A and B are shown apart, each in its own frame.
Chain A
Amino acid sequence: MRLYSEDALEDSPLSRLYDEWGPRLYRYALLVLGNAAAAEDAVQETFLHLTRVAGRRAPAMQPPYAIRAVRNQCFSMLRRRRLALVDTPVLEAVAPDASEEERLMIEQALRELPIEQREVVFLRTFEGCTFQEIATVCDISINTAASRYRYALANLRRLLSPSGEFR
């Protein structure tokens, strides 16, 4: 049974919200959960939660709140169940000369990081967030956000160095 036409569905506030935020939230969820199916579930639940809260009004999201909403969902999923470790590709090359071997190495190094450090790396490096924004998203102090990033870089240095674990 369908009450709304395809066009109405495509033109709904939710579809516009998804176009604005969906891919970014999915990327965060994928990096944190390391599992494409679980990341899709997390993003779907986040959007449904937002529409439930907004009721008949158009749901709205501000940058820190948007990522915080999917973060809560991801951590809730991690608490509820152990996610199957599936070798879902997480990264794709941007640089034209990036090799598959290099991609696997970076990806494996990111997977080795604790989740708290991995999310800070994502927000800082891939999303370009400030430490203030990271602190808001993760509900931590700015100093803690900065120190998590430093620890993450130190770990990545160890994991990516020629004498490191993946070389």
Chain B
Amino acid sequence: MSDDEIERRLTRFTVMGPSQGLRRRILEAAERRGLRKDAVIGWLVAAALVLCATAGAWRSALQVEQRLNDALEDAQVTERSSVAVEMFDGEERRRIGLTYAAAIVETRAEAEGVAPW
């Protein structure tokens, strides 16, 4: 049997095609996968919003602290002695802020050639 004869015998047939249902099955599977993807994106967006809200609150707290520092800095320039007294305030947060403010007072006083307290 020659090669041509074998090929001729093969081409008297063809490989069967898919059932009608395969097309629908693939389209629906792709749609379901798309819905799952949309759901995942939804959760990610929600998580991002929560993170933004947390970050906003944190930033707001930092701004309050910054305003406190600014106020302390202004206060120490005009009322240097009172700052020294307030350094012994019992409040931890305020004490740290005042320590920082006191350092600035000392630096400025040195630059101006006056006694800091």
**Residues A14 and B18 in contact in the complex (CB < 8 Å), given A94-B13, A106-B9, A153-B6:** no
Q: For residues 1 through 55 of chain B, which have their beta carbon under 8 Å from a beta carbon of chain A?
A: 1, 3, 6-7, 9-19, 22-23, 25-31, 33-35, 38
B35 touches A92 (CB 8 A): no
Q: Indicate with 1 or 0, residue by residue over A106-145, a CB within 8 angstroms of chain B CB atoms.
A: 1100000000000001100110000000000000000000
Residues of B within 8 A of A18 (CB): 23, 26-27
- CA distance in complex: A153, B3 (Å): 7
**Residues A27 and B16 in contact in the complex (CB < 8 Å), given A48-B33, A156-B6, A160-B9:** yes
B13 touches A103 (CB 8 A): yes
Please, which residue of chain B has its CB at the minimum distance from the CB of A161? B1
- CA distance in complex: A154, B3 (Å): 8
Q: Give chain A's interface residue range (CB within 8 Å of chain B).
A: 35 or more
With an 8 Å Cβ cutoff, the count of chain B residues facing the other chain is 28
Residues of B within 8 A of A160 (CB): 1, 6, 9
A48 touches B11 (CB 8 A): no
**Residues A106 and B13 in contact in the complex (CB < 8 Å), given A3-B31, A40-B18, A156-B6:** yes
Kindly identify which residue among A4, A102, A157 contacts B31, using a CB–CB cutoff of 8 Å: A4
B18 touches A26 (CB 8 A): yes
Tell me the dominant secondary structure on chain A's binding face. helix
Kindly identify which residue among B15, B16, B31 contacts A122, using a CB–CB cutoff of 8 Å: B15
**Residues A52 and B15 in contact in the complex (CB < 8 Å), given A9-B27, A15-B23, A44-B25:** no
- CA distance in complex: A12, B9 (Å): 39
Q: Identify 8 residue pairs between A and B in the complex whose beta-carbon atoms are under 8 Å apart, listed by A's number.
A: A3-B35, A22-B26, A43-B22, A91-B15, A92-B16, A93-B13, A153-B7, A156-B10
Judged by a CB distance under 8 angstroms, whether A51 is at the interface is yes
Please, which residue of chain A has its CB at the minimum distance from the CB of B1? A157
